[in-house]
Chain A
Amino acid sequence: MADLAVRSASKEASPTWLERVSDAFWRRPGLLLAVLLAPPLLWLGVVYLGSLFALLAHSFFSIDEFSGVIVYEFTLSTYAELFAPAHIDIIVRTVTMAICVTIAAAIIAFPIAYYAARYAKGRWKALFYLGVMLPLWSSYLVKVYSWKLILAREGILNWLFETLHLTWLLEAYLAIPLIGGNSLSVSSTGTFLVFVYVWLPFMILPIQAALERVPVTMLEASSDLGAAPAQTLRHVLLPLALPGIVAGSIFTFSLTLGDYIIPQIVGSSRRFIGQAVYAYQGTAGNIPLAAAFAVIPIIIMAIYLWLAKRKGAFDAL
């Protein structure tokens, strides 16, 4: 038992403070938990929740019209300002854009996700995975910038239409009110394209995750029971992919609602919620109105998340 003696000798020598702390952790497991949780909870609780609370508090303050100084008194007048027609217009425009972007992203994402989940194997699977992850993680601003290059009047897209002698088609499209404009880079269509491009990976990953869980035998069973491929898609695949689509739409919807940079760089002068928030807090110094505006996406997302939860979307995250 020589080595046992070694072990007990080292154990029974006067315990270091580390050892005493370790003993205390064992005697009171709650202590360890508290030590682990305290720093992140303090940080997130104070910095983040505190800030959210500050946001909420500001939305109930107002600004003095003459001096431009924030009046720290409870009022609902800032929220009442949101119902001005110009503001309602901004909210409707933003939500409409979010819906269009979500639908388009789902349509483009589905084949990619389906192919990656069902057919891609081995090296191809890795390629598809990186093919989605790299755009997801590459610089947001660079992605927006690249579209500024593409959509510019002298850029590649116009050049392409010209080369194909289709400039007339593009001009006819740009003449349509609401979605058109002077050029693609200052049209709502441009804004829409950039939104779809930038948020697309967020839609692909959850759909792929949902489809990965569909066993191949289930699709075989469907065709075995006489379903044509289109019917299998309609009656088996889409319902099973739906939670993934809903999960992805949470991202595309939420991100579109809160973005202020894309419409600022590519798009018309008509504003979105994010731009309103940014403008009011910045040059106008009207933090209360900016805060009240920021509460709108939170409310919309809360409703959306509640609906999504009922669809079981969180299992696919």
Chain B
Amino acid sequence: MHSSGAPFWLKAAAIGGLMFMHIPILLIFVYAFTTEDRSYQWPPPGLTLDWFAVTWNRSDVWAALGLSLRVAAISTVIALILGTLCAAAVSRTKFFGRETISLLVILPIALPGIITGISLRSAFNLADIPFSFWTIVLGHATFCVVVVYNNAVARFRRTSGSLVEASMDLGANSFQTFRYVILPNISTALLAGGMLAFALSFDEVIVTTFTAGQQQTLPIWMLEELVRPRQRPVTNVVAMVVVLVTFLPILGAYYLTRGTDTVAGQGK
């Protein structure tokens, strides 16, 4: 027994709670195979693989997926650069206003998404910026910074400060030190942060609805289907694919930061 001494009620409540969290997601997988296409009938009258083929041939799904992947990729790159720079500044040096900067980085995710969304919408309106691919990226990169930042700060904190001094002492200038010492030591944390940022961006809907205009990212496509269901079976398949696509980076990030003192993704 791994859990010697845990009272029965506690064990039951804990396992019940975990099941409460996972059963709904598992249901999605069943619905992706149902033959019923007009309602959410349970139990499914029959199982089929047909909907995968139907979904595969849907150009609107592909277009939405393509946009989501491009937005997520570029937002992740921007977040990686900004988050790493910020983490390096905050953890390497002591300066006035460090706390303020941490707060500023966390704010876009600490405040409800709708506030970030309506704020950006107001700003675009005031500055007369038309909606485009880049307005989506602008919003996504802003709230993705914190994920990279949290992972990088945690790693910097664990990396002894004297490593940088040791490298300088042995003849390496700032850039060589970054290339040969800092980067190898924070790379897994950055990879984990980048994966989580990607997952966060890929999945985001609230801010996106305010910054996307007429374009459809995959979550926006799904939202439309949820509000006005037209293609239930296709939605089911897309939902399952989204679950699988987001699970991979999360599992990856977990294995990359396993055994360290921080919990990957606590910033979400």
Interface residues of A (CB under 8 A from B): 7, 11, 18-19, 21-23, 25-26, 29, 32-33, 36-37, 39-41, 43-45, 47-52, 54-55, 57-58, 70, 108-109, 111-112, 114-116, 118-124, 126, 128-150, 152, 154-156, 159, 197, 200-202, 205, 209, 229, 250, 254-255, 257-261, 264-265, 274, 277-278, 281, 287, 290-291, 294, 297-298, 301, 317
Is B183 positioned at the interface, with any CB of A under 8 Å from its CB?
Answer: no
A57 to B121 alpha-carbon distance, docked (Å): 12
A120 to B210 alpha-carbon distance, docked (Å): 42
Apart from A47-B123, A54-B126, A58-B126: 20 A-B pairs, beta carbons within 8 A: A40-B85, A47-B138, A48-B104, A116-B14, A119-B10, A120-B2, A120-B3, A138-B203, A138-B247, A139-B246, A140-B205, A145-B28, A149-B40, A149-B42, A152-B40, A209-B263, A259-B112, A261-B223, A294-B119, A301-B111
- Residues A43 and B141 in contact in the complex (CB < 8 Å), given A140-B203, A259-B206: yes
The contact of B14 among A111, A130, A133, A149, by CB within 8 Å, is A111
B176 to chain A, nearest CB (A): 8
A297 to B222 alpha-carbon distance, docked (Å): 27
Q: Total number of A-B contacts with CB less than 8 angstroms? A: 292
In the complex, which residues 105-122 of chain B have their Cβ closer than 8 Å to any Cβ of chain A?
105, 107-108, 110-116, 118-122
- Are B17 and A108 neighbours in the complex by a CB distance under 8 Å? yes
Q: Closest B-chain residue to A110, C-beta based?
A: B13
A148 to B263 alpha-carbon distance, docked (Å): 31
- Are A33 and B95 neighbours in the complex by a CB distance under 8 Å? yes
A61 to B141 alpha-carbon distance, docked (Å): 29
The 6 closest A-B pairs by CB, nearest first: A258-B112, A111-B13, A115-B14, A22-B173, A51-B119, A146-B24
Specify which chain A residues have a CB less than 8 angstroms from the CB of B83 in the assembled complex: 40
A230 to chain B, nearest CB (A): 10
- Residues A287 and B121 in contact in the complex (CB < 8 Å), given A141-B223, A259-B114: yes
Specify which chain B residues have a CB less than 8 angstroms from the CB of A25 in the assembled complex: 174
The contact of B199 among A137, A261, A277, by CB within 8 Å, is A137
- Are A7 and B171 neighbours in the complex by a CB distance under 8 Å? yes
- Residues A159 and B222 in contact in the complex (CB < 8 Å), given A146-B27, A261-B206: no
Q: Closest A-chain residue to B220, C-beta based?
A: A141
- Residues A49 and B243 in contact in the complex (CB < 8 Å), given A58-B126, A115-B6, A139-B203: no
A22 to B223 alpha-carbon distance, docked (Å): 50
Is B7 positioned at the interface, with any CB of A under 8 Å from its CB?
Answer: yes
- Are B27 and A154 neighbours in the complex by a CB distance under 8 Å? no
- Are B2 and A121 neighbours in the complex by a CB distance under 8 Å? yes
The contact of A36 among B5, B85, B110, B200, by CB within 8 Å, is B85
User: Which stretch (B46-54, B57-65, B86-94) binds chain A?
Assistant: B86-94
> Which of A40, A259, A294, A317 has the largest number of chain B CB atoms within 10 A?
A40
The contact of B219 among A112, A135, A141, A281, by CB within 8 Å, is A141
- Are B265 and A133 neighbours in the complex by a CB distance under 8 Å? yes
A112 to B199 alpha-carbon distance, docked (Å): 25
- Are B239 and A142 neighbours in the complex by a CB distance under 8 Å? yes
Specify which chain B residues have a CB less than 8 angstroms from the CB of A119 in the assembled complex: 2-6, 10-11
- Are A258 and B199 neighbours in the complex by a CB distance under 8 Å? no
- Are B25 and A146 neighbours in the complex by a CB distance under 8 Å? yes
Residues of B in contact, count (CB < 8 Å): 94
Q: Closest A-chain residue to B120, C-beta based?
A: A51
> Which of B14, B89, B219 has the largest number of chain A CB atoms within 10 A?
B14
A136 to B110 alpha-carbon distance, docked (Å): 15
The contact of B104 among A49, A109, A259, by CB within 8 Å, is A49
Against A, the Cβ 8 Å flags (1 = close, 0 = not) of B142-183 are 100100000000000000000000000001011100000000
- Are B27 and A149 neighbours in the complex by a CB distance under 8 Å? yes
- Residues A37 and B86 in contact in the complex (CB < 8 Å), given A18-B173, A145-B222: yes
Specify which chain B residues have a CB less than 8 angstroms from the CB of A149 in the assembled complex: 24, 27-28, 31, 40, 42
- Are A57 and B14 neighbours in the complex by a CB distance under 8 Å? no
Specify which chain B residues have a CB less than 8 angstroms from the CB of A121 in the assembled complex: 2-3
Specify which chain A residues have a CB less than 8 angstroms from the CB of B114 in the assembled complex: 258-260, 274, 277-278, 294, 297
Q: Closest A-chain residue to B107, C-beta based?
A: A48
Q: Closest A-chain residue to B250, C-beta based?
A: A137
Specify which chain A residues have a CB less than 8 angstroms from the CB of B2 in the assembled complex: 119-124
Specify which chain A residues have a CB less than 8 angstroms from the CB of B126 in the assembled complex: 54, 57-58
- Residues A274 and B112 in contact in the complex (CB < 8 Å), given A39-B81, A58-B126, A139-B246: yes
A52 to B103 alpha-carbon distance, docked (Å): 14
Q: Closest A-chain residue to B81, C-beta based?
A: A39
B219 to chain A, nearest CB (A): 5
Specify which chain A residues have a CB less than 8 angstroms from the CB of B131 in the assembled complex: none
- Are A201 and B21 neighbours in the complex by a CB distance under 8 Å? yes
- Residues A297 and B115 in contact in the complex (CB < 8 Å), given A51-B123, A142-B242: yes
Specify which chain B residues have a CB less than 8 angstroms from the CB of A148 in the assembled complex: 40, 226
- Are B123 and A50 neighbours in the complex by a CB distance under 8 Å? yes
- Are B82 and A39 neighbours in the complex by a CB distance under 8 Å? yes
B91 to chain A, nearest CB (A): 10
- Are A290 and B118 neighbours in the complex by a CB distance under 8 Å? yes
> Which of A202, A250, A261, A287 has the largest number of chain B CB atoms within 10 A?
A261
Is B76 positioned at the interface, with any CB of A under 8 Å from its CB?
Answer: no
A40 to B118 alpha-carbon distance, docked (Å): 22
